[in-house]
Amino acid sequence: MIEPDHPALPIGMQCRLLSISRSSFYYEPQGESELNLALMLLIDKQFLETPFYGVQQMAWHLRNQGFSVNVKRVRRLMRLMGLMPIYQKPNTSRPAKGHKTYPYLLRGLRVDRPNQV
């Protein structure tokens, strides 16, 4: 879209016409470092064996392997890889055993004035 060799329009003017900043035109993404790629490979291998490992357990596993990583880095890499642990989530829709169900007392009542209910 932007032609750097355009004879009449400089790059700044082309960026202004397209409503983008010049810094975003010159920006080149860096990608992941070699260490992060190695960590992602280890995370992937371990996740295939133990898909119930979350961020905390994965960080603990990597520390035991000799890598100095923190939870935030592991969370970012797992999110980048699209990994979500498999675990049983709480089912809050099901009532507990022995829980009394109270009747709804306002079902047939017509509310037609303030402070009635």
- DSSP, res 106: T
Mean pLDDT, consecutive 10-residue stretches, the chain (117 aa), reads 88 93 91 95 97 96 96 97 92 86 90 90
What is the C-alpha separation between 87 and 44, in angstroms, rounded?
Answer: 17
Q: Tell me, what's the pLDDT at 17?
A: 92
- Contact (CB, 8 A) for 65 and 42: yes
Global model pTM greater than 0.85: no
Give the per-residue pLDDT at 79. Answer: 97
